[in-house]
Structure 1
Amino acid sequence: MSDLAIYSPSTDSKYSNLHKTASCAQRYTRELKLEMQPLLNKLFTTYPKEAGRFIGLLNEIDLMTSATLAGIEHTMKTD
């Protein structure tokens, strides 16, 4: 895990609310991926194209939330 992923902002930081929101979005996305995986595995046997598309969308959301969080943490460290 990178240093950015474990950075914890101070409560008085002007970015702390933004950081909290991005952290929650990332956590919820990863929880959604875990909860949906068994269903998507079953769906994949009958509808592989649709299941693959949904998995791809979840992965894209995970990437976007991770990049957003990393960007916020980088900004917080450099301010």
Structure 2
Amino acid sequence: ARRVFTTFEQPDLKATFQFTVRAPEGWTVISNSPPDFVRGDPHAPQPSDNLWRFAPTPRISTYITALIAGPYHSVHSSWEGEGRSVP
């Protein structure tokens, strides 16, 4: 995160983050919150690029901000137990 924006690496200073990412078709983009939507971007240099807009995060420390993009394969599951479900 410190290469992208100013960070204050102390737990009591938190902020919300909202990312918009333009990525090539076939790429997966992951952040701390789910994307609001993914669609083709008509203004992109390549017509096949997609635009990923992520919902605002809750207030979190800057040092745990995540933004991952690339031609990845992903698998999602959840744990069920003790009366709750954890994705």
Taking structure 2 as the reference length, the TM-score comes to 0.22
Taking structure 1 as the reference length, the TM-score comes to 0.23
* Structure with a larger share of its residues in strand: 2
